[in-house]
Structure 1
Amino acid sequence: MIAATIQFFDLFSGIGGFREGLRRAGNFVCVGHCEVDTYADKNYRLLFDTEGEWYCSDARTIEPERMPDFDLLCAGFPCQAFSIAGKREGFADARGTLFFEIARILEAKRPSYFILENVPGLLSHDKGRTFCTILSTLSELGYHVEWKVLNSKDFGVPQARKRVYIVGYLDFRCAGKVLPEPETNGAALVQIRAGSQGKRVYSPKGLSCTLTSQAGGMGGKTGLYDVGVPIKENTKLG
């Protein structure tokens, strides 16, 4: 258990994956977030109490001197420029250059720690040169960096989703292994209703695919799941 409260900023926050994880860990307080997608931000605000927190929609317009101080920067920076599912244009894609917004904020704010997340394709992009540039940039800012590819299925999540996590810290006393080793191997999904992809139904107790090739039906990309969520009855007011 972490004794002291750590304040963090949620950059490229999406709907709050980092924030939920830190909430569950305990002793973390969010001081603000940044998200350009209005639909994602709307969901973020529904899921978390953001009253009084600092906010900016576009990371490129952030003025670090206006940001609150924080100990930890979290950033799942856009992956489309590096994903094997995309064109892999890297830094030639405007979304790929958003990493340098992270570097700009780190240089100005000097938080003690950061956690970055992206697709594993980042490691091999441009024969590794892109990842080398990222590591070199972070090192030049004075951070000690550890990175590792982790799969969500190894940590109790019913889904196989590999991501590379990059952890950085300023204090030499943090040196050593930070990222965890896998704990468990997920069980395969149990199919409870047969059919073509997009129509078959799975039990949520097993390990699911992340995405499949596009297919018809409501579950065309991921399949359908019987999650057993209770349905609330509609009520009339007045």
Structure 2
Amino acid sequence: MSEEIKIAELFAGVGGFRLGLDGYTDPNGSGMSLPAAGPYKTVWANQWEPPGSNARQFAARCYETRFGEGSVVNEDIHKVLDEVDAGERDVPSVDMVVGGFPCQDYSVARPLSQAGGIEGKKGVLWWDIYRFLQIQISKSSENARYCLFENVDRLLKSPASQRGRDFSIILSCLSSLGYSVEWQVINSGEYGFPQRRKRVYIFAERNASWNQRVRLFDGVIARAFPIAKTEEIGTVSIPADPYDATLHFNEERSKRSPFRNRGVMADGKVLTCDVEEVYDGRLGCLGDVIVPASEVPESFYVPDEQLPKWEYLKGSKREERVNKKTGFTYFYSEGSMAYPDLLENPSRTILTGEGGSGPSRFKHIIKTEDGRMRRLVPDELDQLQGFPKGWTNVGMTDGHRAFCMGNALVVGIPHRIGCELAKDLD
């Protein structure tokens, strides 16, 4: 492999993986910067927001604004790969593939040996990653040696009817291509970042010779985000064909997934256990990213007449409700949450619905120094995810800026993982 690690970023959003690995200098001239995590260079990226109208491509336009014209392919990845297979276009050879792929149904309808590779799938987007890896490996056995993926932590235990099936399908796919895999659920707020955001990160390496028991606590993710074991190590066998996983994985329908929040797979065999964070540094907090009052538009302050609705939505409740379709009466209950959000703690997870002025249980609301209540502005959301202040301020609406951050990752997490991988490369 060359000294430079060429990267393809799939489902790129506004470039979180690229910033974390390639590093950045703040385009707004603040002097803030993040050094490159290693010899990484993103050479190809894809971002497409269905249903595909031009108005929905605000993330791709942000990506191109920040990284330059032609830096992202703003087309449906499935169509792109169809054209590659047909010889109508090419994708560059890369050493590493990264991406935060969306959740979906990962099951397959028939054995891959009878399905021409990946036909018969029910889900789409994971299978496009699998297909992209196949294309890379077919060009050269040295391609796509490394992968780094991000997803919600419920991936490890979905679907509810067959706990762990979806993740076993992903592991089966990666194993079939010669990858060894480690994963870890990381809550960014427990490692010094200003937002609590729990996600599973998956690192894979082709043709690796891993000692699984050593790797379980000394892999690149575990070194970047130290852990301590909290229960005995379990073992899991991964089916060789994703179709077998679809039909038979956890077929006894255990209510608990066999995959814990830390694990390693090699040769289709998994070691996994629950772990807890080991961190003694400063904890970040919401107050770290709050902008001066002079930078807050009046529209972000909550009118006094709306405050009772905000307080109600944030509070605990147990109410009798009636299903409008069936007429069935039931009791709905939920616990209380901080109101207003505490500036001295890490923030709650940013969701895609953070934008808009209407009251919401899940949007953030803070109390200002003059006693007024307001929502978070987009510059604060950018910084809660570790992007430079104003990263998404490229002409899109405030609502679209919030949506982009709800879909993004904490930039510092792939950065730390990339730093540890770079040590191995040295």
Is contact 1:147–1:164 with CA below 8 Å preserved after alignment? yes
Tell me which of 155, 167, 186 is aligned to 1:122: 155
Change over 3 Å in CA distance of 1:75–1:143 after alignment to 2: same
Name the aligned partner's letter for residue 166 of structure 1: I
Change over 3 Å in CA distance of 1:47–1:128 after alignment to 2: same
Is contact 2:63–2:72 with CA below 8 Å preserved after alignment? no
Is contact 2:64–2:72 with CA below 8 Å preserved after alignment? no
Q: What TM-score, normalized by structure 2, do the two folds share?
A: 0.44
Which contiguous aligned blocks of 4+ residues in structure 1 show a shift greater than 4 angstroms? 89-92, 187-190, 192-195, 197-205
Which blocks of at least 5 consecutive residues in structure 2 are unaligned?
24-36, 50-56, 109-120, 138-143, 227-276, 291-300, 315-338, 365-374, 381-388, 391-426
How far does residue 7 in structure 1 lie from its aligned partner after superposition?
0.8
Residue 222 in structure 1 maps to residue 363 in structure 2: yes
Change over 3 Å in CA distance of 1:209–1:102 after alignment to 2: same
Is contact 1:91–1:97 with CA below 8 Å preserved after alignment? no
Matches within 5 A, 1:11-160: 11-24=10-23, 25-37=37-49, 38-49=57-68, 51=69, 53=71, 55=73, 57-61=75-79, 62=81, 63=84, 66-79=90-103, 81=104, 91=107, 96-110=123-137, 111-126=144-159, 127-160=163-196
Structure whose alpha-carbon radius of gyration is higher: 2
* 3-state SS of 1:164 partner: strand
Change over 3 Å in CA distance of 1:70–1:202 after alignment to 2: same
The residue number in structure 2 matching 1:236 is none
1:44-98 Cα distance to aligned partner (Å, 9 max, x none): 112223x45462521112226710011000011112x3xxxxxxx5549x99431
Q: Which has the higher helix share?
A: 2
Is contact 1:54–1:68 with CA below 8 Å preserved after alignment? no
Give percent identity, aligned residues only: 32
Is contact 2:188–2:195 with CA below 8 Å preserved after alignment? yes
The residue number in structure 1 matching 2:113 is none
Name the aligned partner's letter for residue 181 of structure 2: V
Task: State which drifts further: 170-179 or 181-190.
Answer: 181-190
Is contact 2:185–2:198 with CA below 8 Å preserved after alignment? yes
Distance 2:207 2:220 in 1: 13
Is contact 1:201–1:225 with CA below 8 Å preserved after alignment? no
Q: What TM-score, normalized by structure 1, do the two folds share?
A: 0.75
1:177-231 Cα distance to aligned partner (Å, 9 max, x none): 12132534736656x999646997657664000158x89846743313485x79x
Is contact 2:46–2:75 with CA below 8 Å preserved after alignment? yes
Tell me the number of residue pairs that the alignment of Structure 1 and Structure 2 aligns.
216
Q: Which has the higher contact order (CA 8 A, sep 6+)?
A: 2
